[in-house]
C-alpha cells in the first residue's frame, strides 16, 4: 500500500479519497476548504496542511475544477513539482485541456516525476461506488504503476495513449454526450408539438438504432421535466470549452460540437447552470416558445 | 388468413411481401418494375396487374419511396381509394411526411377505409428477417386489426398515437440517428487529429454515458472507413427533409436537426448518396481537409 | 399600352396593379377577396370575374402567396394556361420554389405561352412607390417584351438567367438577409450583455467591413426593440423554406442557411410571425434568457 | 508632440509607428525582430532595446499578436507597468480578449497608469494610409488624452465604453464580418450549383437589403476565386476565438457565431490560413464536393 497525496477533496475527490483510505492506503489529503479536509479525516485520512505537504507522498492525485487550478497547484510556487521527490507518480484526474496536460507532463519529466492525465466519467455516484470510467494518458509504465490505485476508484480503466490523450478522450466523450442530449431534446420537442405522447415514442427510439445510454437512463426524467443533477450544466459548459479548445489545438472543425456548445451556453445563460445537463430540453422548448411543463 | 394487396415490392417491400406469403397469407403484389413482381410470384405470391387490382384485397399495404408516390397510388385516379371496398384496412408502411399521412387517413375515412401509417426501421436485414420496428399511427381498432400482419413483419410493434404519429416518431428516430452519426464522426475526427488511437478511445465512450447503438454497432466499421450500406445517405437525406417538414408543420425550431440535415446533404453532394449514413465521418474529415484513410 | 391581367391583388399586388393603371395600361384584376378587387376598381382598373377571364389579356401577372396557389391558378383546371391565347406573356412575380417556376415555364411553352419568373424585393413600400428590385428568369426575348411593364413597377430590373433563375436569386437574397439579421442580433446581444452601449458600437460596425444595408437601416429600430414590419417573419419563414428546397434541388449543403432557417422558425414558434424579421434579435435574447427590453 | 513608445512593429504596427514619426512624434520602437526595428529606424524612429526602455515614454502603444504577448509585455517581469512612470498613457491596440483588457486596466490603475484598449479594423492598407477604424474602451479623460495620437492613425475614432469595450466591439465586428462572408459564400454556392451566373445575381443582392460592404468590395474577387489577402484566415480564426471567449464571459449563447467559428476553423484546417477570409467560399464549395474553379 502506498502513501497517496490527494489534492482536491470536493464532490468527486472526497469520496475517491475515502475509497482509497478504505482500500488500505495512507491518504494525505489537501483542500482549501476546511470542511472538505475534515470529512477526509473522519473517513480515516490525514490532513496535509498544504499542497506541498501532500506532495511528499509516493503518488499524488489532483482532482481540481479546471486548468488554472491544476497549473497553480502543480507548477506554481510551492507547488507539487517543486516539492516532489524523484520518481513521484503524479496523477491528474481533473478534466482540463489536453494541451495543459501535455505541458504538465513535460514539466514533470524535467523534475523526474512521472505524470498521467486520468480524467473520469461516471459522476458523484460513480465516485462514491468506486466504479468510475478512467481514461488515462501517459507512459505505459506509469499507467501500470498507477493501476492498483485506479482499480480502487474505477470499473473501466483504459490506457488511451500518450500524455493528453486521456483528456482528449474525455473531451470526445463530453461532446457526444452533450450533443446526444440536444438531439433527444429536439426529438421530444417535435413529438410533443405534433401531439404525440413521447413515452411510447421514446421507447421505440430507445430500442432501435437511435438508442443510447441517455435514452435508456434519462428519457423518463426528461419527459417528466425532472432536471435534478446528475451532472450539472455548469460543468458541461466548462467541458464544452475544453472540447472546442482541443479541436482548435488539433486543427479540426467540429460544427455539431460548436452548436452544442452554444446550446449549453444558453442553458447556463438561463440560470440552469446548477441543473442536470438534460435541461437542454428546456432550452430547446424555450427556443420554440413552449411553456415549461 | 387474409388477402393482402402489397404495392411496392422493392428492397424493403419485396422481402416483407415474401414473409407474408410464407406466413400463409394470400398476397396480391404490384410494382411498376416487372422483375420485382416476378420475384414475388416465385416466392408464391400473385401478381396484381395494377394498384387498382391489388386494392381488391382485405388489407392493402403500400411500401413506396416518398409522399408523391403514396399520394398517387392511394389518392390518384385509378388509385387504391377509388377501388377500395368498404372496410378496407390500408396500411402505409412507407416513410413519408406526417401531414401526408393525416391527409390520406382523412380521405380514406370518407371512403369507409381505415388507414394506418406504419413506417418501419431496421433496414433490409430487418425486412428479410421479419424483425422490423413498426411505429403505427391511427385508430386503435385499426391497429388491432392489423396486428397479425405486423407480427409477421416486425419484432417491435408499437401504437404511438393517431394518424401521422407513426411518421412523426419515425422522423424523430431519423433525426436522432443522423445527429448521433455526426457526433460520433466529430469525436473520431478530434481523436485522430490529436494523435489518439480511436479504437480504445471509442471503447471507453461506448461503455459510458456517451454510449449508443451506433457506437456499439458501427464504431469499428467507421474507424476502418467501411461505408458499405446499411442505410443509404440518399434515404437519410430524404428522411431529414421529412423531419424538417414535420418540424415546420409542428411549428418548432430544431437547430441540431437543421445542421445535421445540411451535413447529410453535403454527403450526398459529394457523391456519397449510395453509401452508408456513417459516411458522415468522411464529410467531417473533408471539412477539416483530412485525406480519406 | 397593353391589356394586363393581374391575379393576386394583396399587399404587394394591389399597389402594383394600381401603378400599372396609372401608367396607362388596361388592367383586368382578379382576387378571391372582394375588397381587393374593389380597391383596384376604384383605382381605375377592371374586375375580371375569374382567373380565366384575366387570362384573356396580352400579359398576365401573378402575385400570389406560394407555389401551390401559383400552380393552381396557372396549371389548374380553368387556369391561366387553359384559357391563354397563343403568345401570352405570363409573368409570375410571386416568390416560389425555382423548380416550380421551371415546371410552369415548361407547361407554358407547350401552350405557346412565354413565361417569366420575376420575384421582387423591396416590400410594400417599394410596391407602392414603383421602385421594386425585380429578378427575372426566362428567355431574353420574353424579358425584353415584359420590360415596359417592369419599368412601371421597379427601379432595378435584372435578367439573371433562364427560367427559375429569378427565384434562385431571390432565394439567395433571402438567405443573406435572414442570416445577416441573425448576425447583427448576435452582435447586439454580445454588446449589451458585456455592458457596452450598442448605439455607438453599431455605428462603428456600420462604417466598416461589417457594414450592411441592414445595419444602415435597422440598427436603431433593433436597439429600440421596434419590430414593426417591414417584412414579416411569416413571409421570411416561407422564403427560408424555398431557399432550403432550392439548395436540396441544386444538391448543395448550406449550413449557415440551415441554422438561420431554424432561428426564423423559432421566431414564428414564439408568435413573432406578424413582426418584422429584425425580431430575430428577440429570439437570440430569449435564447440567452434575457428579458425583452 | 509626445514621446511614444511603440511595442510591436509588425505588418500593422510598423506603418502605424512610421505614421507617428511622420506626424512629428518622437517614437521609441521595440520589436523582438531586428528587421522590424530597423525599418522603424530608417523611417526616422529610435530603437528602444527593450519593452522596458520603450516604457519610459509619455505614451506607450502596444500592437501585438494576442493576449499572452500583451500580458507578458505589459504585466510580466521587466514589463511596461514595472517601468512605467506615473501618468503614463498605455494604449493597447492589439486585438485581444475583453477580459484581458479589463485585467490590464486594473493592474495599470494600481500603478497610476491610464490604460485604453483600442483595437482597430481596416487592415494593412488602413494602417499605411492612417485611416484605421479605432474602437476605444477606457476612461473618457484618457481617451481625450490619446485622441491626438489616434487622429494620426485612424479616420474613424470612437469611444465605445469602459475598459474592455473596445475589444468587445471589435469582437462583435469580427463575428459579423466572418458570418457575412459565410452567407455570401452560401449564396454563391447556391447560385452556381443552380446554373445561375453569379455576376449579375450578386449585383442585385448588393443593391438591396442583402447589400453589405463585403458584397460591395469582394463579390467580384470571390466569384473569380481570388483569395489574395486582405485579412488572413489565421487572424480571423484567432478573432473568432476571442468572440466566443467574450460570449462565454458575458454569459450569452451565439449560435451563428459558433457555426461561423467552425467554418473558419475548417478554412484553417484546409491550409487556407494565409489566404483572405473570403476563402470561406472555398470551404463551402468543398463541403458540397464542388471542385475549385
D87 CB neighbour count, 10 Å cutoff: 10
Chain A CB contacts of B250 under 8 Å are 190, 193-194
Residues 6 or more apart whose CB falls under 8 angstroms from that of C226 comprise: none
Distance CA(B168)–CA(B162), nearest Å, equals 10
Q: Give the pLDDT of residue D290.
A: 87
**How far is B240 from chain D, CA to nearest CA, in Å?**
17
SS (H, E, C) C201-231: HHHHHHHCCCCEHHHHHHHHHHHCCCCCCCC
Place of cell 401551390: C68
Of B255, B259, B269, the CB nearest to D288: B269
Which residues of chain B are at the D interface, by a Cβ-Cβ cutoff of 8 Å?
A: 255, 259, 265-266, 269-271, 283, 286-290
Of D177, D183, D252, the CB nearest to C256: D183
* Closest chain B residue to the Cα of A138, Cα to Cα: B196
Chains near C, with 3+ CB pairs < 8 A? A, B, D
For residue B232, with 0-12 CB atoms within 10 Å meaning exposed, 13-18 middle and 19 or more buried, which class applies? buried
Measured at the CA of D81, the angle between CA D80 and CA D86, to 5 degrees, comes to: 115
* Closest chain D residue to the Cα of B267, Cα to Cα: D288
Rounded mean pLDDT, D225-246? 97
Label residues A229-255 b or e (16+ Cβ within 10 Å = b). bbbbbbbbbbbbbbbbbbbbbbbbbbb
Distance CA(D163)–CA(D117), nearest Å, equals 6
Please list the pLDDT of chain C residue by residue as tens digits (293 residues): 689 999 999 999 999 999 999 999 999 999 999 999 999 999 999 999 999 999 999 999 999 999 999 999 999 999 999 999 999 999 999 999 999 999 999 999 999 999 999 999 998 999 999 999 999 999 999 999 999 999 999 999 999 999 999 999 999 999 999 999 999 999 999 999 999 999 999 999 999 999 999 999 999 999 999 999 989 999 999 999 999 999 999 999 999 999 999 999 999 999 999 999 999 999 999 999 986 54
* B171-to-A198, D183, D224 alpha-carbon distances in Å: 13, 28, 41
Q: Return the closest-CA partner of residue C153 out of C125, C136, C134, C171.
A: C134
Q: What is the DSSP string of A190-232?
A: HHHHTT--HHHHHHHHHHSTT-BHHHHHHHHHHHTT----SSB
In 3-state terms chain C splits into helix, strand, coil percentages (rounded to 5) of: 55, 15, 30
Q: Do A257 and B186 touch (CB under 8 A)?
A: yes
Going by pLDDT thresholds of 50, 70 and 90, the confidence category of residue D11 is very high
Distance CA(A164)–CA(A154), nearest Å, equals 19
**How far is C210 from chain D, CA to nearest CA, in Å?**
5
Q: Return the closest-CA partner of residue A5 out of A64, A78, A90.
A: A90
Distance CA(A170)–CA(A245), nearest Å, equals 13
Chain D CB contacts of B290 under 8 Å are 269
Place of cell 450526398: B268
Of C253, C263, C268, the CB nearest to B265: C253
Residues of chain A above pLDDT 90, percent: 96
Judge contact between B95 and B10, C-beta under 8 A.
no
**How far is A96 from chain C, CA to nearest CA, in Å?**
26
* Closest chain C residue to the Cα of B265, Cα to Cα: C253
**pLDDT > 80? residue A1:** no
Which residues of chain A are at the D interface, by a Cβ-Cβ cutoff of 8 Å?
A: 241, 244, 247-248, 251-255, 257-259, 261-263, 265-266, 268-269
Distance CA(B287)–CA(B270), nearest Å, equals 12
Judge contact between B249 and B98, C-beta under 8 A.
yes
* C178-to-B262, C241, D33, D196, D256 alpha-carbon distances in Å: 17, 12, 46, 21, 11
The complex's ipTM works out to: 0.96
Q: Give the pLDDT of residue A160.
A: 97
Helix axes of A165-193 and A280-287: crossing angle, nearest 10 degrees? 50
Chain B CB contacts of D290 under 8 Å are 269
Q: Give the pLDDT of residue C1.
A: 66
**pLDDT > 90? residue D66:** yes
Q: Give the pLDDT of residue C291.
A: 64
Of B253, B263, B268, the CB nearest to C269: B253
**How far is D269 from chain B, CA to nearest CA, in Å?**
5
Q: Give the pLDDT of residue C293.
A: 46
**How far is C223 from chain D, CA to nearest CA, in Å?**
15
Please list the pLDDT of chain B residue by residue as tens digits (293 residues): 689 999 999 999 999 999 999 999 999 999 999 999 999 999 999 999 999 999 999 999 999 999 999 999 999 999 999 999 999 999 999 999 999 999 999 999 999 999 999 999 998 999 999 999 999 999 999 999 999 999 999 999 999 999 999 999 999 999 999 999 999 999 999 999 999 999 999 999 999 999 999 999 999 999 999 999 989 999 999 999 999 999 999 999 999 999 999 999 999 999 999 999 999 999 999 999 986 54
B164 CB neighbour count, 10 Å cutoff: 27
Distance CA(C260)–CA(D86), nearest Å, equals 51
Note the residue count of chain D: 293
Going by pLDDT thresholds of 50, 70 and 90, the confidence category of residue D271 is very high
Q: Give the pLDDT of residue C61.
A: 98
Chain B CB contacts of C253 under 8 Å are 262-263, 265-266, 269
Q: Give the pLDDT of residue D1.
A: 66
Chain A CB contacts of B249 under 8 Å are 194
* Closest chain C residue to the Cα of A266, Cα to Cα: C288
- The gap from C-alpha A222 to its chain's centroid, in whole angstroms, comes to 22
Can D290 be counted among the known catalytic residues?
no
Residues 6 or more apart whose CB falls under 8 angstroms from that of D173 comprise: C187, C204, C205, C208, C209, C210, D121, D135
Distance CA(D26)–CA(D34), nearest Å, equals 20
Distance CA(C280)–CA(C221), nearest Å, equals 13
Give which of C123, C176, C243 to mutate to test D binding, by max D Cβ within 10 Å.
C176
**pLDDT > 80? residue A291:** no
Q: Do D270 and B283 touch (CB under 8 A)?
A: no
Which is catalytic among the residues A170, A218, A238, A290? A170
Give which of B131, B196, B218, B255 to mutate to test A binding, by max A Cβ within 10 Å.
B196
Q: Is the four-CA dihedral D252, D257, D263, D266 of positive or negative sign?
A: negative
Going by pLDDT thresholds of 50, 70 and 90, the confidence category of residue D164 is very high
Chains near D, with 3+ CB pairs < 8 A? A, B, C
* Model pTM above 0.90: yes
Residues 6 or more apart whose CB falls under 8 angstroms from that of A21 comprise: A27, A40, A43, A44, A45
Q: Is the four-CA dihedral D81, D83, D86, D91 of positive or negative sign?
A: negative
**How far is A278 from chain B, CA to nearest CA, in Å?**
12
Chains near A, with 3+ CB pairs < 8 A? B, C, D
Q: Give the pLDDT of residue A2.
A: 84
Judge contact between D244 and D174, C-beta under 8 A.
no
* Closest chain A residue to the Cα of C255, Cα to Cα: A255
Distance CA(C279)–CA(D135), nearest Å, equals 27
Judge contact between D171 and D98, C-beta under 8 A.
yes
Residues 6 or more apart whose CB falls under 8 angstroms from that of C272 comprise: C227, C233, C279, C282, C283
Judge contact between B264 and B277, C-beta under 8 A.
yes
Amino acid at each position: 500500500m502506498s502513501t497517496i497525496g490527494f489534492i482536491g477533496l470536493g464532490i468527486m475527490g472526497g469520496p475517491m479519497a475515502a475509497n482509497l483510505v478504505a482500500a488500505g492506503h495512507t491518504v494525505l489529503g489537501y483542500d482549501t476548504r476546511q470542511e472538505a479536509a475534515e470529512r477526509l479525516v473522519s473517513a480515516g485520512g490525514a490532513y496535509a496542511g498544504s499542497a506541498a505537504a501532500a506532495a511528499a507522498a509516493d503518488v499524488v492525485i489532483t482532482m481540481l475544477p479546471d486548468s488554472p487550478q491544476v497549473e497553480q497547484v502543480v507548477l506554481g510556487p510551492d507547488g507539487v513539482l517543486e516539492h516532489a521527490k524523484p520518481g513521484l507518480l503524479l496523477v491528474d484526474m481533473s478534466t482540463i485541456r489536453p494541451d495543459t496536460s501535455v505541458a504538465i507532463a513535460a514539466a514533470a519529466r524535467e523534475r523526474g516525476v512521472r505524470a498521467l492525465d486520468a480524467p473520469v466519467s461516471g459522476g458523484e455516484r460513480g465516485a462514491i461506488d468506486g466504479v468510475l470510467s478512467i481514461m488515462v494518458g501517459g507512459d505505459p509504465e506509469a499507467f501500470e504503476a498507477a493501476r492498483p490505485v485506479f482499480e480502487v476508484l474505477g470499473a473501466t480503466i483504459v490506457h488511451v495513449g500518450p500524455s493528453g490523450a486521456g483528456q482528449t478522450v474525455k473531451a470526445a466523450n463530453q461532446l457526444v454526450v452533450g450533443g446526444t442530449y440536444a438531439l433527444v431534446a429536439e426529438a421530444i420537442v417535435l413529438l410533443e408539438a405534433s401531439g404525440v405522447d413521447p413515452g411510447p415514442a421514446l421507447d421505440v427510439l430507445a430500442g432501435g438504432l437511435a438508442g443510447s445510454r441517455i435514452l435508456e437512463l434519462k428519457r423518463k426524467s426528461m419527459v417528466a421535466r425532472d432536471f435534478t443533477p446528475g451532472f450539472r450544466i455548469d460543468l458541461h459548459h466548462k467541458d464544452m470549452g475544453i472540447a472546442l479548445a482541443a479541436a482548435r489545438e488539433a486543427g479540426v472543425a467540429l460544427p455539431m460540437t460548436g452548436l452544442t456548445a452554444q446550446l449549453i451556453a444558453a442553458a447556463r445563460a438561463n440560470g440552469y447552470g446548477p441543473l442536470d445537463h438534460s435541461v437542454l430540453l428546456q432550452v430547446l422548448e424555450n427556443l420554440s416558445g413552449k411553456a415549461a411543463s
